[in-house]
């Protein structure tokens, strides 16, 4: 994980003491982050032998960071976590599966405030190898290493690590927590139950249909199905918002459970995890997770600077109308950097995206 310190302290020192990116299916991403940190940091009693730990190529990750980004002092004091979600029913957590969910969580280390940004999976970006298409293809092509590189290059970020969780992870987490409270709207019920039915068959589980609107406690399968709804007004943009909603609900619920319940949750999640995070890193980085609060959330590209269109054979894409302006907005949103100037690399990618997509934008 990354706790940026700026100046001349050097990349290797920062990497050992900070910078981590998490990759998980759907909202389980920060769920896992929160639960790991609560239990490891406060209690130190969780079994870690089930975690599939992998070491990424630090040199290649470093090469994906645009010139000048590492020295950006405005990012000092923040832990920036890239959250990628893979929807794999075959257990392919390392690659060969697209990241259906991509988020960035930026944690203010001094206050514990968290800001969340969903990076829409169909966003037309550089996959980190000068191939331009939907950004969720990066994970399929090169696993977490390429997905992290993709975010770093396009967004002027400096992220180094990941966590991936299996298809049933969110279901297990929510069930172990005793459910989460979510407000259900009329137009969501049919889609929620359809997703439940499909997942129940795939996971060998029974499901309970949701039959009413309003605030209610969803079980694991219901919450996971809710996160997948995209056939309502707002399409995939609304789906990403639902994922952030469930994530925040889980954070609040996790703060209320006792030690035994936390251990049960963590042990469930660990069995479905693939990660580059180490216990020592986590303990060093975080103090008391109960002080963490999500204070703002949004999506990238931002609403006023995005469009949609079918970009040739690459299909329906979310198009950053001006990538450079979107990246400037992102740094202002996450780090309150009102004077941020994007790197020359982002300027180049921005011009390429505009040239590739202008004729396809739905106006």
> Is 256 exposed, middle or buried, given 0-12, 13-18 or 19+ CB atoms closer than 10 A?
exposed
Q: How many domains does the chain have?
A: 2
- Domain boundary residue, one of 220, 254, 288: 254
| Predicted pLDDT of residue 221 | 94
For residue 201, the domain's CATH number is 3.40.630.190
In a domain, 320, yes or no: yes
pLDDT tens by residue, 193-234: 999 999 899 888 899 999 999 999 999 999 989 998 988 988
When pLDDT is averaged across residues 132-137 and rounded to a whole number, the result is 96
In this structure, are 241 and 279 located in the same domain? no
Range(s) of the domain holding residue 119 = 11-167+259-360
The confidence band for 14, taking pLDDT boundaries of 50, 70 and 90, is very low
Q: Answer with the one of 236, 254, 272 that is the final residue of a domain.
A: 254
In this structure, the answer to whether residues 47 and 125 fall within a common structural domain is: yes
pLDDT band at 47 (very low <50, low <70, confident <90, very high): low
- Residue 65 covered by a domain: yes
**Are 203 and 232 found together in one domain?**
yes
Q: Which of 254, 286, 319 is the last residue of a domain?
A: 254
Same domain flag for 116 and 184: no
Q: Residues 59, 126: one domain?
A: yes
Domain contains 19:
yes
Q: Scanning the structure block, which residue is given the tokens 């037309």?
A: 124
- In angstroms, rounded to a whole number, what is the distance separating the alpha carbons of residues 303 and 140? 27
Provide the pairing of β-strand 214-218 with 132-134.
Answer: unpaired
Tens-digit pLDDT profile for residues 257-293: 776 777 677 676 666 666 776 655 554 544 455 677 8
Average confidence score pLDDT of the chain: 81
Tell me if the pTM is above 0.85. Answer: no
CATH number at residue 25: 3.30.420.590
Query: What are 362's two structure tokens?
Result: 């739905």
In a domain, 48, yes or no: yes
């Amino acid at each position: 994980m990354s706790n940026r310190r700026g100046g001349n302290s050097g990349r290797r020192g920062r990497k050992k003491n900070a910078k981590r990116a998490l990759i998980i299916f759907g909202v389980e991403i920060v769920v896992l982050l929160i639960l790991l940190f609560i239990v490891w940091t406060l209690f130190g009693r969780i079994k870690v032998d089930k975690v599939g730990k992998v070491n990424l190529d630090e040199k290649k990750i470093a090469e994906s960071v645009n010139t000048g980004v590492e020295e950006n002092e405005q990012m000092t004091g923040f832990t920036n976590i890239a959250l990628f979600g893979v929807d794999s029913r075959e257990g392919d957590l390392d690659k060969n599966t697209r990241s259906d969910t991509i988020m960035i969580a930026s944690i203010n280390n001094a206050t514990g405030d968290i800001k969340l940004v969903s990076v829409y999976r169909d966003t037309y970006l550089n996959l980190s190898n000068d191939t331009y298409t939907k950004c969720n293809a990066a994970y399929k092509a090169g696993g977490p290493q390429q997905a992290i590189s993709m975010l770093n290059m396009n967004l002027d970020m400096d992220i180094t690590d990941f966590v991936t969780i299996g298809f049933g992870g969110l279901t297990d987490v929510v069930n172990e927590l005793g459910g989460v409270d979510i407000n259900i709207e009329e137009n969501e019920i049919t889609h929620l139950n359809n997703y439940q039915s499909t997942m129940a068959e795939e996971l060998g589980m029974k499901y309970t249909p949701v039959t009413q609107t309003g605030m209610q406690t969803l079980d694991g399968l219901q919450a996971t199905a809710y996160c997948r709804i995209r056939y309502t007004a707002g399409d995939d943009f609304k789906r990403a918002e639902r994922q952030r909603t469930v994530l925040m609900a889980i954070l609040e619920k996790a703060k209320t459970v006792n030690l035994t319940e936390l251990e049960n949750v963590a042990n469930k999640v660990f069995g479905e995890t693939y990660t580059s995070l180490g216990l020592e890193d986590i303990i060093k980085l975080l103090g008391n997770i109960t002080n963490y609060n999500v204070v703002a959330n949004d999506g990238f590209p931002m609403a006023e600077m995005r469009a949609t269109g079918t970009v040739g054979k690459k299909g329906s894409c979310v198009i950053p109308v001006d990538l450079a302006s979107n990246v400037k907005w992102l740094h202002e949103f996450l780090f309150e950097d009102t004077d941020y100037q994007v790197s020359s690399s982002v300027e180049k990618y921005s011009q390429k995206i505009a040239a590739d997509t202008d004729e396809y934008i739905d106006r």
